[in-house]
Chains A and B, each alone.
Chain A
Amino acid sequence: MSEHGTESAGEGVSQPGTTARLDQGDIEGSGGILERFTNPGLPPHVPRSADLDEKAAHRAERQVAALFGISMVATVIFLVAYFAIDQKTYESIPGIGQASLSNVVLGVSLGVSLLCIGLGAVHWARTLMPDTEVAEDRHPQRSSDQARRDAVETATSGRAASQIGRRPMIKFTLGGALGLFALPLVLQLAGSLGPLPEAGLSTTFWRKGMRLVRDPEMTPIKASDVTLGSVFHVIPEGIDTSAHVLEEKAKAAVILIGIDAALIQVPKERAWGYGSMVAYSKICTHVGCPVGLYEHRTHHLLCPCHQSTFDVTQNCAVIFGPAHRPLPQLPITVDAQGYLVAESGFHEPVGPSFWERG
């Protein structure tokens, strides 16, 4: 409907006498599409039984009252149960199993009480409240020509009275003041976004010579401790003293795997490992879940979030799932006491992609 008011709804067809049905598509040969389809209007009003029959109306009234009554009973049950049932009573409840009786009774009674208020209100509206279809036409939004002229008149005379056109100094300084005032607002917003991450996304806590320690005990690992097929969940030594332990842990978590060196197919993986041990970042390159599910027979590392699977014999290449980059490997060696240490930090950023990494 246009803003010029209500045209009669049924007469909007451009070509008189060629009302097309929706399933007929374009009208052959006329060279045009219908501008508008006929408004089918409202279906005829059908009165409900409660409108016609006083008995049915009484029945509906009783039903609504019954629903509100059930709600009241349920509320009373809730109030009684709150005091009567000990919270430590456990009962076997059909369909739910062993559960705290107090929890179940309180929840069910409160639910029933609220639900019955809603059901009663809806049933009331459906059966007894008026259900005649009403359409309210939209009013024209355009003001009268007189009002529009008056508005323009007010604005122009106000501008003239303020003398802003004649006094450029005021005009320009006001513009400058208002424009400059936007800066503090923008600055607060931009400033509250916090410092830039800088190298934080690309680096981890790992440094050359740092010992691999068990998570959570923080004890160093001897190379001889790692037998074939065993797995250690590892963090760098001293990470618990860093300023942001959890953030650092979330990047530096490493899984150390004992694997037969003969099975490793990538020379780089063997060189960066030590003997029959390799260490890989535990942070999935998809969205950063901890990749901890190691199957020691298939040598697959599985990410529990989206089933990305990495093959440890192939430098943790992705063999299944949404990740698209191998897990970064941590080069390891042993120190003079025989404990495993990092030969260097990670050579690439760990975890999922980010803007600057591409």
Chain B
Amino acid sequence: MKALGSHRRHPAAIVVLLLLGLVATGGLYSLLAPRPAQAAVATADDVTSGRTLFLANCATCHGVNGLGGKIGPSLAGVGAAAVDFQVGTGRMPLAQPGVQASSNQVMFTDQEIASLAAYVATLGPGPAIPDSQDTAGNGDVAKGNELFKENCAMCHNFAGSGGALTQGKYAPSLGNVSGQYIYEAMATGPESMPVFNGQSLSPADKNDIISYLHYLDKNQNPGGLNLGNLGPVSEGMFVWVVGLGLMIGAAVWLGSKAA
């Protein structure tokens, strides 16, 4: 203990203490954080059970009849695909208000999501949950790449790693996302994303884009250390900090006099 005490005025002591404190806080939080209660509602696959679920979980923001409230938008016409995407990726129910809902822990079973989607689909005509053959990702990878570069890459980055938008909004990374959710996002235009309807990108086009993204997921990176695949920003940062740091160190060493 005496040895430890003798180091308490060491310049690194404050950093070590801070790190210890952060680790302890994080560890305790992960142990003691409240777990979300499982929604235990009837799971009959029909509109009625969907409505029950809706009233219990969504109506606070979206209104009792799903036509929007002070907080949430109207859900008439968003279609089953929007519900499947938003609830299936854990974006809804919204964890906290903010500029953008981010994917999160999924709160409902597949059965419950299907019931909710079936209920919301009755509010107005909208994009349906896509056919599984359009989301299988067995299309033309090269065409998908071309379509991706033209329609998606400006926000989601050429490697699908996502990117920043205005005022804290962002385009999420598309790595390891299931074909169904990619398709639904294109069809419904969640958050800031514009809609790519069936006339803009046909179901076959969407399947090609999914094929391209799945190809990227499997694509090996020979060099390693991809720095988030973010292009010149992260790579430039790395070179400026690490590369220039090493160069400055070398210059100092070269200029110093040997003992």
A-side contacts of B220, CB under 8 Å = 90, 98, 100
Name B210-259 residues within 8 Å CB distance of A.
220-226, 253-254, 257-259
Which of A's residues lie within 8 Å of B, judged by CB?
46, 48-50, 90, 93, 95-100, 103-104, 122, 126-127, 131, 214-216, 221-222, 225-233, 257-258, 290, 292-298, 300, 302, 304, 307, 309, 320
Interface of A (DSSP majority class): mixed
Q: How far is the CA of A63 from the CA of B258 in the complex (A)?
A: 13
B99 to chain A, nearest CB (A): 10
The residue of chain A having its C-beta at the shortest distance from the C-beta of B157 within the complex is: A304
A-side contacts of B259, CB under 8 Å = 48-49
Interchain residue pairs A-B with the least CB separation, the first 10:
A99-B224, A225-B199, A292-B154, A96-B224, A295-B192, A231-B194, A100-B222, A230-B195, A126-B258, A296-B194
Chosen A-B contacts, 29 in total, with CB atoms closer than 8 Å, are A50-B258, A96-B224, A96-B225, A99-B221, A99-B223, A99-B224, A99-B225, A104-B224, A122-B253, A131-B257, A215-B150, A216-B150, A225-B199, A226-B200, A230-B197, A231-B151, A233-B150, A233-B151, A258-B195, A292-B155, A295-B192, A296-B189, A296-B192, A296-B193, A298-B166, A302-B165, A302-B166, A304-B163, A309-B166
A-side contacts of B200, CB under 8 Å = 214, 225-226, 230-232
Residue pairs across A and B with CB atoms within 8 Å: the count is 103
Q: How far is the CA of A174 from the CA of B87 in the complex (A)?
A: 90
A-side contacts of B195, CB under 8 Å = 227-231, 258, 296
Query: Are B226 and A97 in contact, with the CB atoms below 8 A?
Result: yes
Q: A292-B154, A295-B169 are in contact. Are A216 and B147 (CB under 8 A)?
A: yes
Beyond contacts A100-B220, A215-B150, A230-B196: 7 other A-B pairs, Cβ-Cβ < 8 A, are A98-B220, A214-B200, A216-B150, A229-B194, A231-B194, A295-B169, A304-B154
B191 contacts the other chain (Cβ, under 8 Å)?
yes
Query: Are A127 and B258 in contact, with the CB atoms below 8 A?
Result: yes
A120 to chain B, nearest CB (A): 13
Query: Are A216 and B224 in contact, with the CB atoms below 8 A?
Result: no
Query: Are B257 and A48 in contact, with the CB atoms below 8 A?
Result: yes
Q: How far is the CA of A5 from the CA of B222 in the complex (A)?
A: 63
Residue from the list A48, A49, A99, A304 in contact with B222, Cβ < 8 A: A99
Query: Are B165 and A293 in contact, with the CB atoms below 8 A?
Result: yes
B170 to chain A, nearest CB (A): 11
A189 to chain B, nearest CB (A): 35
Q: How far is the CA of A307 from the CA of B258 in the complex (A)?
A: 50
A-side contacts of B254, CB under 8 Å = 122
B146 contacts the other chain (Cβ, under 8 Å)?
yes
Which of B's residues lie within 8 Å of A, judged by CB?
146-147, 150-151, 154-155, 163, 165-166, 169, 171, 189, 191-197, 199-200, 220-226, 253-254, 257-259
Q: How far is the CA of A298 from the CA of B193 in the complex (A)?
A: 10
B96 to chain A, nearest CB (A): 18
A212 to chain B, nearest CB (A): 12
B-side contacts of A229, CB under 8 Å = 189, 194-195
Residue from the list A100, A222, A300 in contact with B199, Cβ < 8 A: A222
The residue of chain A having its C-beta at the shortest distance from the C-beta of B222 within the complex is: A100
A280 to chain B, nearest CB (A): 14
The residue of chain B having its C-beta at the shortest distance from the C-beta of A126 within the complex is: B258
A241 to chain B, nearest CB (A): 19
A-side contacts of B147, CB under 8 Å = 216
Q: How far is the CA of A283 from the CA of B9 in the complex (A)?
A: 59
A-side contacts of B165, CB under 8 Å = 293, 295, 302
Query: Are A297 and B222 in contact, with the CB atoms below 8 A?
Result: no
Q: How far is the CA of A304 from the CA of B152 in the complex (A)?
A: 12
Q: How far is the CA of A229 from the CA of B189 in the complex (A)?
A: 8
B-side contacts of A93, CB under 8 Å = 224
The residue of chain B having its C-beta at the shortest distance from the C-beta of A303 within the complex is: B154
Query: Are A293 and B224 in contact, with the CB atoms below 8 A?
Result: no
A246 to chain B, nearest CB (A): 14
Q: A216-B146, A295-B166 are in contact. Are A290 and B192 (CB under 8 A)?
A: no
Query: Are A131 and B194 in contact, with the CB atoms below 8 A?
Result: no
Q: How far is the CA of A99 from the CA of B150 in the complex (A)?
A: 29
Residue from the list A103, A221, A307 in contact with B223, Cβ < 8 A: A103
A35 to chain B, nearest CB (A): 32
Q: How far is the CA of A293 from the CA of B200 in the complex (A)?
A: 16
Q: How far is the CA of A304 from the CA of B233 in the complex (A)?
A: 12
Query: Are A294 and B199 in contact, with the CB atoms below 8 A?
Result: no
B-side contacts of A221, CB under 8 Å = 199
B-side contacts of A231, CB under 8 Å = 151, 194-196, 200
A110 to chain B, nearest CB (A): 14
The residue of chain B having its C-beta at the shortest distance from the C-beta of A307 within the complex is: B166
B-side contacts of A214, CB under 8 Å = 200
Q: How far is the CA of A307 from the CA of B257 in the complex (A)?
A: 48
B-side contacts of A127, CB under 8 Å = 258
A294 to chain B, nearest CB (A): 5
B-side contacts of A225, CB under 8 Å = 197, 199-200
Q: How far is the CA of A104 from the CA of B163 in the complex (A)?
A: 28
